[in-house]
Amino acid sequence: MTNNGFEAPILLTPSEVAAIFRVDPKTVTRWAKAGKLSCVRTFGGHRRFPEEEVRARFEEMRQRRAAPS
């Protein structure tokens, strides 16, 4: 936590997100381009994904797969 009380979100790389979803990192990049996952860009132009949102999306997907049809 910083002095002003603001806590910066934990950001994940495409590879870290890919490991959670068990997909290729390029798939994560395509999801970001399609607007399925939000991301921020570093000064170098690399994508970073908010961990909280990634975990929430993963839970949504997991629950949809577990729900009876």
Residue 41 main-chain phi, psi, to 5 deg = -110, 140
Give the whole-angstrom CA distance, residue 34 versus residue 63.
22
Q: What secondary structure letter does DSSP report for 40? A: E
Task: State the Cα–Cα distance between residues 39 and 65, nearest whole angstrom.
Answer: 25
The full set of domains in the chain, from first to last, is 11-66 (1.10.1660.10)
**What end-to-end distance do the CA atoms of the chain give, in Å?**
44
Q: What is the pLDDT of residues 14-26, one digit of tens each?
A: 999 999 999 999 9
pLDDT tens for residues 31-46?
A: 999 999 999 999 999 9
Tokens coding 22? 């068990």
**What is the C-alpha to C-alpha distance for residues 37 and 28, in angstroms, rounded to an integer?**
8
